[in-house]
Amino acid sequence: MSKRNSDVQPRTEKIIKLLPPDGGWGWMVLLGTGLSNIFNQSMLSLFSLLYGDALEAMGHETKGAAIVLSTMLFVTNFGGPIAGALIKITSPRFVAVLGAFFCTTGILLSGFSTNIWHLILSYGVSLGLGLGFIQNASFVAINGYFKLRKNLAVGLAMVGTGIGQTLMPHVVRYFLANYGFKDACILLASLSLHGICGTMLIQPVEWHMKKIEEEIVIDEKMYLLDEKTDAISKKDYSSNETSNKNGSQTTLPAATDFNAKTDSKSVSSKEKKMKQSPERAKNKDGSMEGPTQEKTLLRKIYDLFDMSLLSNPRFINIIIGTALTVVSIQNFSMIFPFFLQKAASMNKQQTATCMSAVALADIMGRIVLPILQDRFQIKARMMLIMTSIWLIIVRQILAYQRDLYLLLVLSALYGFGRSMVIVARNIAISEPCRTEQVPSAVGLGMLTMGIIVPPVGYFLGWIRDYTDSFLICITAQNMLLLLFLAMWIPDMLYFYLQEKKERNKNVRKSIT
């Protein structure tokens, strides 16, 4: 009897799975995103070089520059949730193209500014909104095209920003010297038009999905059907095994999203309501139908922006921590040219050279660090912690230096570390989320930055003007990174201990 049962082979069936291409047209998406970043995202680091003299002519110093830049950063980050909602309604391609159009318009109009309010509306609002749309849409597109090589893909896409930060300071200096401020902005706007062409390459990932044929046991097929109709828990789904063509058994990865428990609870509560009040399921003609409850406007907005993510303390900790790191490096990028020209007594040529050193090292970091991260299986959150420690040390030493060659070396070291903050921030936010949650998660992270950037940026600018010391200002920027470390390190330790406890528990279960 037992022998006959042991000889019975499990029933299998072939299915077609659609998987992200992890390459293919995805490389063209990276090319288009990089092209857009060269002429649009690089405008952030060019602010002081391009608009510094114009602001002084308007009668504004560091505090005025901080107001314009903080407005731009606020609008950029506030545009993140709007972009996330638009992506759900339309597509990443549409949102990216729209963002590139806003960037070109903002750069063009900024050349006609005669007071600070003109710059706030053109550079701050129009360019800021465009950058917010491009950032969210491009990351969502890359996240859809790449799974196994996501870190490298994001790094390569960000290389465009590094190339722009390397070349564009010299281009801006040449334009200003030969054509003046107004014509320089018009020429930069014409270059920004290339960003629209680049974002047009972001095609829907559904056009390029790979078809993989796999054999599954019949029990697993039932689980797949149950998941579609009954929304069974991810934990049960991950415990089933698939049988590949070569006969080997592979375990499906468990989903790690913030709302897994919440979803299972909501399903059970819906089933309970269906059992308790079946009369709600009747149509006018007496036929039976599932209970339909019309959503209110607030509920639709709540679901559209995935506000349920904010119910998890760890997610809140992640988005606040990434916001602190971004504010710190963005504010340093704003004052760095002023530091080189006023504190280190450098001319514009030497200033542009140091900025290019930062950008070149940034490009290297965006290529090398993601490869090392994949090689040693380092999570994005841990990479952010390590690079923040690196930035604190390098920037604090840099603040005391006045020699050109030392500043070039330290600028390169800073750029190498800064690259990982830019690459890993959105990955850290999206790691624990489901695919459909990524646009909203990135948008909420950008919104948090938009809330934190203006007051903190204004405060750091006030410190610089009040103390008349770049050393104190850079130290204050490093204090933000220390606050970030104080928030993340205890949570990471707790998360590690919980994972270790869960692994030990699974080992004991497998033994028994």
Give DSSP secondary structure letters for 341-390: IIIS---HHHHHHHHHHHHHHHHHHHHHHHHHHHHTT--HHHHHHHHHHH
For residue 465, what pLDDT is reported?
81
What mean pLDDT do residues 235-249 have?
Answer: 41
For residue 234, what pLDDT is reported?
42
Beta-bridge partners for 210: 19
For residue 255, what pLDDT is reported?
39
pLDDT digits (tens, 9 = 90+) for 26-81: 889 989 988 888 888 878 777 877 887 888 788 776 667 778 887 887 788 788 88
Nearest to 134 by CA among 212, 195, 183, 221: 195
- Higher-pLDDT residue of 230, 443: 443
Kindly state the tokens that stand for 58: 């308007």
pLDDT digits (tens, 9 = 90+) for 383-438: 899 999 999 999 999 999 888 899 999 999 998 888 888 788 878 888 777 777 88
How far, in Å, CA of 136 to CA of 441, rounded? Answer: 10
How far, in Å, CA of 199 to CA of 385, rounded? Answer: 32
For residue 10, what pLDDT is reported?
61
pLDDT digits (tens, 9 = 90+) for 434-470: 777 888 888 888 888 778 877 887 788 888 888 888 8
Residue position matching structure tokens 């470390």: 485
Q: Let me know: does 326 contact 460? Beta carbons within 8 Å.
A: no
pLDDT digits (tens, 9 = 90+) for 478-489: 999 999 999 999
The pLDDT of residue 270 is above 80? no
Confidence of residue 1 (pLDDT cuts 50, 70, 90): very low
For residue 9, what pLDDT is reported?
57
Helix (H, G, I), strand (E, B) or coil at 291: coil
The pLDDT of residue 273 is above 60? no
pLDDT digits (tens, 9 = 90+) for 52-61: 788 878 877 6
Confidence of residue 24 (pLDDT cuts 50, 70, 90): confident
What mean pLDDT do residues 6-10 have?
Answer: 53
What are the Cα distances from residue 337, in Å, to 137, 331, 350, 354, 470?
30, 11, 10, 9, 11
| pLDDT mean across residues, the chain | 78
pLDDT digits (tens, 9 = 90+) for 82-125: 888 888 888 889 999 999 999 999 999 988 888 888 888 998 89
Q: By percentage, how much of the chain surpasses pLDDT 70?
A: 81
The pLDDT of residue 226 is above 60? no
- Higher-pLDDT residue of 325, 280: 325
How far, in Å, CA of 512 to CA of 498, rounded? Answer: 21
Beta-strand runs (E) in 107-209: none
What are the Cα distances from residue 492, in Å, to 60, 327, 489?
43, 21, 5
For residue 233, what pLDDT is reported?
43
For residue 242, what pLDDT is reported?
40
The pLDDT of residue 298 is above 80? no
For residue 218, what pLDDT is reported?
59
The pLDDT of residue 235 is above 70? no
For residue 127, what pLDDT is reported?
92
How far, in Å, CA of 18 to CA of 154, rounded? Answer: 22
Helix (H, G, I), strand (E, B) or coil at 243: strand
How far, in Å, CA of 61 to CA of 465, rounded? Answer: 8
For residue 217, what pLDDT is reported?
62
For residue 280, what pLDDT is reported?
45
Q: Let me know: does 164 contact 156? Beta carbons within 8 Å.
A: no
What mean pLDDT do residues 218-232 have?
Answer: 50
pLDDT digits (tens, 9 = 90+) for 142-199: 888 888 778 788 888 878 777 887 788 888 888 988 998 889 999 999 999 998 999 9
How far, in Å, CA of 364 to CA of 409, rounded? Answer: 14
